[in-house]
Amino acid sequence: MSSFGKKVVESWNDWQLIVLVLISLLMQLLLLFTAGFRKRTRPRKLSKIYFWVLHVGSRYIATYPLGILSRASAKDPNADIQAFWASLLLFHLGGPDDFTALSLEDNLIWNRQCFELTVQALLTAYVFSRYCVDKDFKCFIIPFVLISLAGLLKCLEQVFALRQATMKALIKSVLGTPDAGPDYADTMDRVNSMLRSGVLPSININDKRRLGRPNSDAREAGDTRAEQTVEQQQQIALNKILSAHSLFSRFKVLFADGIFSFEDRQESQALFLGKDAKWAFKVIEIELSFVYDRLYTKASVSRTTPAGMTIVRVPSLLLTLAGSVYTFLKTIHASQYSKRHRCVTYTLLAGAVLTEAIILARYIYSAWTLVGRSDHWLKRRSVDLVNRSRWSGYMAQSNLITFCLQKLPTDSQLEDFLVSFSRGRPSGQLDIPGAVIARNLGLHITAKALSLLRFRLAEAAPQLAGETLGAAARQYLQRRSMLEQLKSKSFWDKYKKRRYVPVQDKLTDFIFDQVKKKEATFNQRKEDNRATRKPDSHKPMTDSRGDSVIKEEKVVDSLGWSLHGKDFDESLLLWHIATDLCYREEVNQRNSSTDQQAAGLQVNTGNSRIGQQVEKHREIGVEISNYLLYIMVVHPLMLSSSTTMAIKRCRDTCAEARRHFLKEHIQTNFSSDKSKIISEENAHETLLNVDTPLRASVVKGDKSKSVLWDGCFLAKKLNEIKDRRKKWHVISRVWVEMLCYAAVQCGGYQHAERLKEGGELITFVCLLMTHLGMGKHYRTEVGDAYAHLSPFTAPRHPPAQADRPGVQQDATISTDEASTSGHGHGHL
C-alpha cells in the first residue's frame, strides 16, 4: 500500500469513532427539529428519502460505534472517555419523541425493535463492564449509569409506543370488557313459568331512551359575533381542542375499522350540527393530529396522561442533566484526555440535554397538556395552538387526457416512422393520388422525397385517415409509445407525477353543505320510517355515489346508466372523462369569447352572479374529479377492493386515448393547417367529434376495459343540459357524493397510512361523514332493550298474532330495534 493510502487508513482509524458519534448526534437533532414537518407537508420524493435515511441511519449508525467500543484497546489514553460515549449512543437509540415509526408496518414489528434495543443495551453494559475496573474510568461511572438509565427509559418508551400504536392495541383500548348483554334464557324461563301456571304473559319491549336529534340551529357561544374579546377567542379555541380530543377518544378505533353505537353518533352530531365548515374541518384537523401522534410518535406513552411526564419526561431530563454536569466538572481540567475528545464529549452532552429540554417544552406547550389541564395558564395560548397547521392543506391532481397528450412524436420521429412504414410496400397500397407522391412512395423513400412529401401530404390526408393510418398508428404505438408509456413500471412512475392545488374554503364549504343535506335527508327518512313502522337504515345514504343526485335533479334517464350497475372505478373514470371534456369545451369557448371581446365584438356573457356560481361549481367538480383519479392511480386500495380491475381499466383507457391522439397527430402534423395539430386546447374536439351511437363494448368486445368512448358519450349527454348552472351543479354534487362514498368505503388502515405524508382530503370527509352519523361503522342502533313481563289483558281490538304461539307482544318495537340485534332484558 502506498504511503498516501496508509495515511488515509490511519486517519480514518483515528477519526472514525468521532465522526460516527457526531453523525449520530446530527441525525438525532435533524429528526428532532424536522419530524413535525412530515404530517403537514405534501409528499415529495426527496422528503421520503430524507426521513427514510434519518430513521434507518440513526439506528444503525449508533450501533456501529458500540461495536467499535466493545473491542477497542484499553491502551489508548482516550479509551476511557470514548467508552463513556457508549451511554450517549444508547441515549441516541431511544430516538426523538416525534418520530417512532416510518410507516404503520414498523408498529407491527415492535417485538423485533424490542429485541434489537435489548441487544444494544447489553452491548452498552458489556462496554461498561470492560472499563469499570479501570481506575481512570471511575470518574465516568456515575454519569455513565445516569445517562444509560435515561437512554433505557427512552428505549422502553419507544418500544411501548410502537406496541400501543398497533391496530390490535387500538381496538383493545376501546373495546372494554366483553358484553354478554341481558340474559335471554332467563327471560324465556320466566315466560314459560307463567305459561305453566296458566297465565298468558305479555311482553313489553322498551329500549333505552335515546337523546333527541341535536338542535341544528345551536351555535357555540361567541362563535358568530363579529367582534370577540380575547377571553372569548381563547374559550372558543379551547373548546375546539377539547372537542377534537373527545372525538379522538371515541372514534380513534375507526382507523382499525371498529364499530360505534348510537350514543357515539348522538355525541358527535351534537358537536357538529349548527357549526360551519371552517369549525368542522379545523376540529377534524386537530383530531387527526391526535391520531397521527398516537400512531407515529411516543404520544401514547408520554402525552396521553400527566403521569407520562412524571414517569418519563422529567426523570429523563434530570438524569441527563445530572450526568452532563457531573462529567463536565470532572473532565474540565482532565489533561490526560485530548482536547478533541473532550470537545466531542461536551458536544454530545449538550445535544442530549438540548434534546430532552426541547421535548419537555414541546410537551408543555402542546394540545395534549391543554386537554389534561384545561384550567392551566396554557389556555392563553390556545388560539395559537388552534391556528397551528397540522396537515398539508393541498390535494393532488391527475388528469387522464393531459397525461395521454404527453410526449407525442416530433416531426423527425414521424418522418422516420413513415420511412420505416413505407419500405416494402407498393405505391398502390397507400392509394395516394398524384404522380409525384405515387412515384416517391415506392419501395424506398429518400430524404429528398420526404421533403417533397411534406408539402403534398395534405392531399393524401383523407386516404391516410383510413385503415392505412390506423394500422400505422398501431404499429407506432407498439414500437415506441406502448413500450415507453404503458410498461407497468414506466407507466405508473410517469402517471404518478402530479400537481397540487390548495384546498380552498369554497370547496370545504360546499362539501360540508352537501354532507349536512345528506344527514338531514337521512334523518327525515328515519322519521318517516318510524311513523310507518319500517326499518330504517343509513346504508342507502353511504352507498349512494351520485344516484341520489341525478334522481333529485331528474336526469336519471340520460345519466343513470353511468352509475347504476357499474363498478365504482368504472363510474369514476366515466365521469372524469366527461367532466374534463365539458370543462375543456367551456374553457375553449370562454377563450374564444375573450378574443372576440378583444377584437371589439359584442359578446353576451350573461348574468355575472350566475357566471360566478357556474365557475365555482365547475372548479369544484374538476378539482374533485382530478383528485379522485389521483387516488385511483396512486393509492388504488383507498377506492376499490378490486384493485387489479381498476388499474387495468385505467391503463386500457389511457392506451386507447393515446392511440386516438396519435392518429390525429399523424394526420394533422403534415397538413397545411397547423392550427389543427393536436394539443391541450383542441384535444376535446377530436374526442367529441367521434360519433358514439353504440356502446363501445358492443363494437369492440369486452377484452379491453377501456371506457374512453363511453365517457365521451356521457359528456355529450351532459352537454344536452342547456342550463349551464344546472349542469355544473349536477356534476359538482355527483363528485361530492362520489368523494363521500369513497371516503366511507375506504379502510381505516389506508386512511392512517396517508397521515404520515400530509394527510388527504378524503380522510377529512370520512371523519365528517362519521361524525354526522353516516359512517359505515355504526352497528349498534339501540343498545340493550328491556323486556317487561305482565299478565295479558285482552284489548278492545284484536291484537296482531305473535311470532310465537301463546305469547302476546303488545309492545311496539321501534324501527331502530327492528333493524338491529339489540338484546332483551326481562323484568317481572
The three cell numbers locating residue 459: 392531399
% of the chain beyond a pLDDT of 70: 74
463 and 322 together in one domain: no
In this predicted structure, what is the pLDDT of residue 88? 95
The three cell numbers locating residue 687: 374526442
Res 181 pLDDT > 90: no
In this predicted structure, what is the pLDDT of residue 26? 96
Res 192 pLDDT > 90: no
Residues 687 and 710: their CA atoms lie apart, in Å, by 11
Res 24 pLDDT > 90: yes
Is residue 222 a contact partner of residue 274, using CB atoms and an 8 Å limit? no
Res 218 pLDDT > 50: no
Question: Which residue has better confidence, 800 or 42?
Answer: 42
Q: What angle do CA 667, 672, 674 make, to 5 degrees?
A: 75
Residues 501 and 507: their CA atoms lie apart, in Å, by 12
Question: Which residue has better confidence, 588 or 280?
Answer: 280
401 and 350 together in one domain: no
312 and 398 together in one domain: no
How far out from the chain centre does Cα 301 lie?
Answer: 25
Task: Report H helices in 635-723.
Answer: 643-669, 683-688, 696-700, 708-719
Question: Which residue has better confidence, 31 or 423?
Answer: 31
The three cell numbers locating residue 432: 395516394
Q: pTM score, two decimals?
A: 0.84
Who's near 64: CB < 8 A, 6+ residues apart? 20
Of the candidates 640, 530, 625, 553, the residue with the CA atom closest to the CA atom of residue 584: 625
Residue 21: pLDDT band (50, 70, 90) is: very high
The average confidence (pLDDT) of the chain is 79
On whether residue 789 sits in a domain, the answer given is: no
Of the candidates 102, 100, 106, the residue with the CA atom closest to the CA atom of residue 47: 102
- Highest mean pLDDT out of 326-335, 460-469, 668-677: 326-335
Res 471 pLDDT > 80: no
Average pLDDT of the segment spanning 300-318? 81
On whether residue 794 sits in a domain, the answer given is: no
Residues 245 and 286: their CA atoms lie apart, in Å, by 8
In this predicted structure, what is the pLDDT of residue 302? 80
Q: What is the chain's percent helix, strand, coil content, to nearest 5? A: 70, 5, 30
Residues 393 and 761: their CA atoms lie apart, in Å, by 8
552 and 625 together in one domain: yes
464 and 363 together in one domain: no
Residues 300 and 101: their CA atoms lie apart, in Å, by 13
DSSP 807: -
488 and 575 together in one domain: yes
Who's near 59: CB < 8 A, 6+ residues apart? 93, 116
Domain boundary among 778, 802, 819: 778
720-735 pLDDT, tens digit each: 998 999 999 999 999 9
On whether residue 313 sits in a domain, the answer given is: yes
On whether residue 534 sits in a domain, the answer given is: no
Domain boundary among 763, 778, 793: 778
Res 819 pLDDT > 70: no
Give the domain extent around 75.
Answer: 12-173+306-368
Q: Alpha carbon of 520 to those of 382, 516, 681, 743, 815: distances in Å?
A: 33, 6, 42, 19, 18
In this predicted structure, which of 120-129, 156-165, 687-696 has the lowest mean pLDDT?
687-696
Residues 125 and 808: their CA atoms lie apart, in Å, by 76
In this predicted structure, what is the pLDDT of residue 815? 35
On whether residue 149 sits in a domain, the answer given is: yes
On whether residue 585 sits in a domain, the answer given is: yes
Is residue 773 a contact partner of residue 269, using CB atoms and an 8 Å limit? yes
Of the candidates 638, 512, 144, the residue with the CA atom closest to the CA atom of residue 345: 144
Number of domains in the chain: 2
Who's near 307: CB < 8 A, 6+ residues apart? none
Is residue 372 a contact partner of residue 363, using CB atoms and an 8 Å limit? no
On whether residue 503 sits in a domain, the answer given is: yes
On whether residue 30 sits in a domain, the answer given is: yes
398 and 325 together in one domain: no
Res 621 pLDDT > 90: yes
Residue at 139: amino acid letter: C
Q: Where are the beta strands (DSSP E) in 544-613?
A: none
Torsion of CA 550, 551, 554, 558, to 10 degrees: 60
Question: How many CB atoms are closer than 10 A to CB 90?
Answer: 27
Residues 691 and 641: their CA atoms lie apart, in Å, by 34
622 and 731 together in one domain: yes
Average pLDDT of the segment spanning 458-484? 47
Residue 710: pLDDT band (50, 70, 90) is: very high
Of the candidates 273, 799, 697, 286, the residue with the CA atom closest to the CA atom of residue 513: 273
Counting beta carbons within 10 angstroms of the beta carbon of residue 66, is it exposed (0 to 12), middle (13 to 18) or buried (19 or more)?
A: buried
DSSP 679: -
Question: Which residue has better confidence, 798 or 690?
Answer: 690
Average pLDDT of the segment spanning 264-274? 86
Task: Report H helices in 394-459.
Answer: 400-404, 411-422, 427-430, 435-440, 447-456
Torsion of CA 509, 511, 514, 518, to 10 degrees: -130
740 and 591 together in one domain: yes
Q: What angle do CA 644, 649, 652 make, to 5 degrees?
A: 120
356 and 494 together in one domain: no
Residues 90 and 121: their CA atoms lie apart, in Å, by 7
Residues 515 and 768: their CA atoms lie apart, in Å, by 8
Counting beta carbons within 10 angstroms of the beta carbon of residue 813, is it exposed (0 to 12), middle (13 to 18) or buried (19 or more)?
A: middle
546 and 690 together in one domain: yes
User: Order of strands, edge to edge, in the sheet holding 201-207?
Assistant: 201-207, 784-791, 823-827
637 and 748 together in one domain: yes
